[in-house]
Structure 1
Amino acid sequence: MATTGLAASDGVFVGRVWVPELGPILIALRNGELFDITSRDVPTMRDLLELNDPADYVANVSGAWIATLNALESESLNAQSNPHKRHFLAPNDLQSVKAAGVTFARSMVERVIEERAAGDPQAANAIRARIGDLIGASLANIVPGSAKSERVKEALIAEGLWSQYLEVGIGPDAEVFSKAQVLSAVGWGAPVGLHPKSVWNNPEPEIVLAVNSRGEIQGATIGNDVNLRDFEGRSALLLSKAKDNNASASIGPLIRLFDGQFSMGDVREAELAMTVTGPDGYVLEGHSAMAEISRDPADIVAETINENHQYPDGFMLYLGTLFAPTEDRDVPGEGFTHKTGDKVEITATGMGTLTNFVRKSSECPPWTFGPSAFMRNLAQRQLI
Structure 2
Amino acid sequence: MTAGDFSRGTFVGRIWRPDVQGPAVVVLRDGKLCDITSRDIPTMRDLLEKDDPAAVARAASCESLTTLDAVLEASVEGTGNFSRLHLLAPCDLQAVKACGVTFARSMIERVIEEKAAGDPTRAEKVRGRVTAIIGDSLRDLKAGSEAAAKVKAALIEEGIWSQYLEVGIGPDAEVFTKAPVLAAVGWGASVGLHPISKWNNPEPEIVLAVDSAGRVKGATLGNDVNLRDVEGRSALLLGKAKDNNASAAIGPFIRLFDETYSIDDVRRADLDLRIEGEDGFVLKGRSTMREISRDPLDLVAQTIGRHHQYPDGFMLFMGTLFAPVEDRDASGQGFTHKTGDRVTISNAELGALVNTVRLSTECPPWTFGMAALMRNLSSRGLL
TM bucket by the smaller chain? over 0.9
**RMSD in angstroms over aligned alpha carbons?**
1.0
Counterpart CA distance in 2 for 1:264 and 1:11 is 14
Residue 194 of structure 1 corresponds to which residue in structure 2? Answer: 193
- 2: CA distance, partners of 1:133 / 1:293: 22
- Checking the alignment, whether the CA contact within 8 Å between 1:83 and 1:365 is kept in structure 2 is no
For 1:135 and 1:236, locate their aligned partners in 2 and report how far apart those are by CA, in whole Å: 21
Tell me if structure 2 keeps the 8 A contact 1:105–1:136: no
Note the C-alpha offset of 1:81.
8.6
C-alpha contact 1:106 1:136 (8 A) present in aligned 2:
no
- The one-letter code of the counterpart of 1:324 is A
Q: In 2, distance between residues paired with 1:223 and 1:134?
A: 32
**Which amino acid is the alignment partner of residue 8 of structure 2?**
D
Q: Is 1:61 paired with 2:60?
A: yes
| Partner of residue 236, structure 2 | 237
Identify the residue that residue 9 of structure 1 maps to in structure 2. 7
For the 8 Å contact 1:188–1:252, the answer to whether it is kept is yes
User: Counterpart of 1:46 in 2: which secondary structure?
Assistant: helix
Query: Residue 58 of structure 2 aligns to a residue in which SS?
Result: helix
**3-state SS of 2:221 partner:** strand
SS at match of 2:127: helix
Aligned amino acid, residue 11 of structure 1: G
- The answer to whether the 8 Å contact 2:79/2:88 transfers is no
SS in 1 for 2:178: strand
Question: Counterparts of 1:67-216 in structure 2 under 5 Å?
Answer: 67-77=66-76, 79=78, 82=81, 84-216=83-215
Deviation at 1:3, TM superposition (A): 1.4
- State the SS of the aligned residue for 1:367: coil
Deviation, 1:83, is: 5.2
State the one-letter code of the partner of 2:59: N
Letter in 2 for 1:221: T
Name the CA distance, whole Å, in 1 between partners of 2:182 and 2:81: 19
Q: Secondary structure at the match of 1:138?
A: coil
Does residue 18 in structure 1 map to residue 16 in structure 2? yes
Corresponding residue for residue 350 of structure 1? 349
1:39 maps to 38
TM-fit CA distance, 1:79: 2.3
CA contact 1:10–1:31 (8 Å) conserved in 2: no
Q: Which letter does structure 2 place at the counterpart of 1:299?
A: D
Partners of 1:14 and 1:328 lie apart in 2 by 38
TM norm structure 1: 0.98
| Secondary structure of 2:307's aligned partner | coil
2:316 maps to 1:334: no
- 5+ long unaligned stretches in structure 1: none
Preserved CA contact (<8 Å) 1:207 1:348:
no
> 1:202 touches 1:338 (CA, 8 Å); kept in 2?
yes
CA contact (8 A) 2:245 2:360 kept: yes
Shift of 1:84: 3.4
In structure 2, distance between residues paired with 1:292 and 1:298 = 15
Structure 2 residue ranges without an equivalent (≥5) = none
Query: Are the aligned partners of 1:109 and 1:136 in contact in 2 as well (CA < 8 Å)?
Result: no
2:278 maps to: 279
Q: How far apart, in 1, do the equivalents of 2:229 and 2:83 lie? A: 34
- SS of 2:206's equivalent in the other structure is strand
Contact 2:211 2:217 in 1 (8 A): yes
Counterpart Cα distance in 1 of 2:94 and 2:80 = 27
SS at match of 1:137: coil
The answer to whether the 8 A contact 1:183-1:371 is kept is yes
Cα gap change, 1:52/1:195 in structure 2, threshold over 3 Å: closer, same or farther?
same
TM-score normalised according to structure 2 size: 0.98
Number of residue pairs matched by the alignment: 382
Give the CA deviation at 1:131.
1.8
Offset of 1:80 from its aligned partner? 5.7
Aligned to 1:269: 268
- SS at 1:340's partner residue? coil
1:136 deviates by 3.6
Instruction: Confirm or deny: 8 A CA contact 2:211 2:312 kept in the other structure.
Output: yes
Give the share of equivalent positions with the same residue, in percent: 63
